[in-house]
Structure 1
Amino acid sequence: MLSSPDVSAVLRSARTIAVVGCSPRGFQTSHRIARYIQDAGFAMIPVNPNHDEILGETAYPTLDAVPDDVQIDVVDVFRRPEFTADVVRDAARRSERTGDRPTIWTQIGVHSAEAEQLAQEAGLPYVADRCLMVDHAALR
């Protein structure tokens, strides 16, 4: 069993964060946090099958669709818990192809035991039920 990663170390070393479930609507939490990620200096990759662009960035329908030459350090998940395992499956497939080992970060209320188990089996660090923006802001 993998231990939970050191959140501050993850955020200090990360350069690129994929936001799965990123919304184009400014009032949505995923949109506000994606903008925060950009403003904090991270490269932000929106993942949403219904949009081609969000916050000025190319949006991808799935993690699998993000070009393999783009290293993803953190996968920030804004999907309902029943869909979180599918996000981890996508991340694991991509990890097998690219060799990247992104941290799976489930926002508050998004965690699922199945997703955590799949991440462990794939060797992907997993952060459960935490707000990336709150944790990052606390480091500043």
Structure 2
Amino acid sequence: MAHENPSREYIKQMLALAGNIAVVGLSDNPERTSYMVAKAMQDRGYRIIPVNPNADVILGEPCYPSLSAIPDPVDIVNVFRRADQVVPIAEEAVKIKAKVFWLQLDIINEEAAAVAKQGGLDVIMDRCIKVEDAILNPRNK
């Protein structure tokens, strides 16, 4: 059966409860989408934890080579990797007891969704976390 994302109201609750967002595939290049999305989320008050084995610090936060290396609890695992690379990330998200497995816009992998769901995580696929947060939690600047 094909994955269905939770309702917008449920996603709003997920975001409201999120403290730490691990961003797998976060680039240190400010021109990359992953950087722009993570920076926007950080600017909106979320703590971003970069997961990138090729960088030391991104957005002022220390980078970790994997989800398992993060010493703090992770609420949302936000993934910027190709769809064919996300099953092991889902397995690791389950292992660290994350709460939400979030695949960014245009990333769809039913096997990864099933792994995460079976591990007790909420799953969102093919949605941009920045866009969802902006729609569901509008803030005046």
Instruction: Tell me which residue corresponds to 1:78.
Output: 80
Secondary structure in structure 2 of the residue aligned to 1:46: strand
Q: Does 1:35 align with 2:18?
A: no
Instruction: Tell me which residue corresponds to 2:29.
Output: 25
Q: Which residues in structure 2 correspond to 1:98-117 (within 5 Å)? A: 101-117=98-114
Counterpart-to-counterpart distance in 2, 1:3 and 1:73: 20
Q: Does 1:127 align with 2:124?
A: yes
Counterpart-to-counterpart distance in 2, 1:77 and 1:123: 17
Residue 4 (structure 1) shift: 4.0
Counterpart-to-counterpart distance in 1, 2:104 and 2:46: 18
The gaps in structure 2 that reach 5 residues or longer are none
Counterpart-to-counterpart distance in 2, 1:81 and 1:124: 18
Q: Is the 8 A contact 1:84 1:111 kept in 2?
A: no
Q: Identity across aligned pairs (percent)?
A: 38
Counterpart-to-counterpart distance in 1, 2:102 and 2:58: 20
TM-score by length of 2: 0.89
The gaps in structure 1 that reach 5 residues or longer are 96-100
TM-score by length of 1: 0.90
Secondary structure in structure 2 of the residue aligned to 1:71: coil
Instruction: Tell me which residue corresponds to 1:16.
Output: 20
Deviations 1:9-54 (A, max 9, x none): 1111111111100000011000001111110001110001111111
Secondary structure in structure 1 of the residue aligned to 2:86: helix
Counterpart-to-counterpart distance in 1, 2:91 and 2:38: 22
Aligned Cα root-mean-square deviation (Å): 1.5
Q: Is the 8 A contact 1:17 1:76 kept in 2?
A: yes
Q: Does 1:49 align with 2:53?
A: yes
Instruction: Tell me which residue corresponds to 1:98.
Output: none
Residue 119 (structure 1) shift: 0.7
Residue 3 (structure 1) shift: 6.9
Could you say if the C-alpha distance between residues 129 and 3 of structure 1 is closer, same or farther in structure 2, counting changes exceeding 3 Å?
A: closer
Counterpart-to-counterpart distance in 2, 1:73 and 1:111: 20
Counterpart-to-counterpart distance in 2, 1:123 and 1:17: 17
